[in-house]
Amino acid sequence: MMKTIKIKTAILLALVGMVFGSCSDWLTTEPESGLIVRDFWQSKEDVNSAAIAIYQSMQDDVTKNMFLWGELRGDMLIDMERCPISYLLILQGEIKPDNGVTRWGAFYSTINLCNTLIEFAPNVLSIDASFDQEQLNAYLAEARGIRALMYFYLARSFGDVPLITEAYSTDGKPFAVAKSPMADIFAQIKSDLQFAEQNAPFSYGSVAANKGRLTRYAAKAILADVGLWMEEPDVTLKACDEIIASGQFGLLLGDNVWFSELYGRGNSSESIFELQFDDNKLNPFYGMLHQSNGRQLTSAPVVYESMFVIDENVHPDSIDIRGDNASFKSTRSNILWKYMGFDANSGRENYQSYANFIFYRYADILMLKAEALAHKGSGADALKLVYDVRKRAMASKISDERPGAEDKNAILRFIVNERAREFSFEGKRWYDVLRVSRYNNYENLSILIDMVKYAAPPDKQQSVVSKHRDYNYHYFPINQDELNVNPNLIQNDFFIDQF
């Protein structure tokens, strides 16, 4: 049975590849045969294969870009000897439409797989008598939940993007799709997640599947994040409270095995949703981050000099557990240890580069709830949650900003800084800073400006700050290759005259 599933999954991935075969022509390449795709859908096992293919499609360029889009524009990475020029330019605040990092084709390939399942899976009800509506709804929830996640990354990274909810599997559909307003993208994201949180399974029967496939809890976690981007804190609070009340998750103890449980092995009791890798499918981080053949990226000095500043008056066992030997490893030239280490001391070889990519974990839910509470004026309750996370981490007193319970903006800045420590290099830094900065008509733009000012090269600081004062610069340009093949796409405002 497992061999059959793998064959079916490979077939479906190949078929979708006919439509989205490259990053530059996904909107123009015509499918070779819609009939072949239709003939695939004959049983509930085929539907399951299609669902698995969705996750497999995220394991390469999607994962890589989730990390790069969330970190390169922040302040926690610097370039190393093998850094591609495309990464370096973004680190320096020099973003152009021809930068390959801004290609979005891999995300739309995954979206097309989701759309294909959504379109064709219902037909299986009339073919396979063992397949019922409840099972179908569960698969539709998976597909709609992942589609929402893909659009969430696209909207946060590009602003307005093409909104495609139909499968490109048959002839005759228009491929030159114009952008939709970001508000429409978020409305679709919210709708998909609300369906998913009502219909996705609570459990798939194993720990790896429960952490690696979209459950109702995973849908709620994404929705909690989306609520803050939509400036709907009540949506965030409801989703967070339901996850907390479930009793299915909790903070790991800050002991000597927490790192190996959370990052080394993965799928811990703290984890809600993480993309799975194993020795048959490695993650893309070893060549990017390891030092054996020269690294592309490493942790910036701000990480080990400021974010995890050490209080020399405390016992060594009381030092923030998220710093050295966790986020970075000082004895290995400050390499990013979350992807390169099994535990505090043992590193990975190339063939062991299968650390999972964590989308959401319980600490994230506590911090998102704290952020929502701060916006609602419940500062004392927000701070309690932040200090719960800090207590597990044995956070240094030096990093405690001690904001007043009535000082909303000081609390929000504290949350942003604490999230930098808690989720360092988990692909969240730029999104965290932008989310808090832009809330309520950019009430806290200074948080973003302070970050980019600190991270910018001295000779580019003034230019970088000036660019970031323009709200349109907070989103990537549409890649020039996409513009070349799709006449209905219009470049994002800031970059119109830059190619």
Reported as a single tens digit per residue, the pLDDT across 114-139 is 999 999 999 999 999 999 999 999 99
- pLDDT above 50: residue 13: yes
Reported as a single tens digit per residue, the pLDDT across 166-218 is 998 655 555 689 999 999 999 999 999 999 999 999 999 999 999 999 999 99
Across the chain, mean pLDDT equals: 92
Q: Which of 454, 496, 499 is nearest to 475 (CA)?
A: 496
Reported as a single tens digit per residue, the pLDDT across 218-245 is 999 999 999 999 999 999 999 999 999 9
Tokens standing for 466? 């000036």
Distance CA 265, CA 131 (A): 35
Distance CA 189, CA 187 (A): 5
What confidence category does residue 314 fall into, taking pLDDT thresholds of 50, 70 and 90? Answer: confident
Eight-state DSSP code of residue 307: I
- Residue entry with tokens 């974010």: 307
Please give the backbone phi and psi of residue 97, each rounded to the nearest 5 degrees, phi first.
-65, -15
pLDDT at res. 11: 53
What does the domain layout of the chain look like in residue ranges? Answer: 2-182, 201-443
Residue-wise over 440-466: b if at least 16 C-beta within 10 A, else e? eeeebbebbbbbbeebbeeeeeeebbe
DSSP H or E run through 380: helix 379-393
Reported as a single tens digit per residue, the pLDDT across 46-91 is 999 999 999 999 999 999 999 999 999 999 999 999 999 999 999 9
Amino acid code (one letter) for 74:
G
- Least confident span in 33-47, 64-78, 480-494: 33-47
Query: Among residues of the chain, what percentage have pLDDT more than 70?
Result: 90
Q: Which of 148, 98, 83 is nearest to 118 (CA)?
A: 148
The CATH number of the structural domain formed by 201-443 is 1.25.40.390
Question: What's this model's pTM, rounded to 2 decimal places?
Answer: 0.93
Matching fold, domains 2-182 and 201-443: yes
Distance CA 103, CA 477 (A): 9
- Residue entry with tokens 């610097």: 78
Question: Could you confirm whether domain 2-182 is CATH 1.10.3720.10?
Answer: no
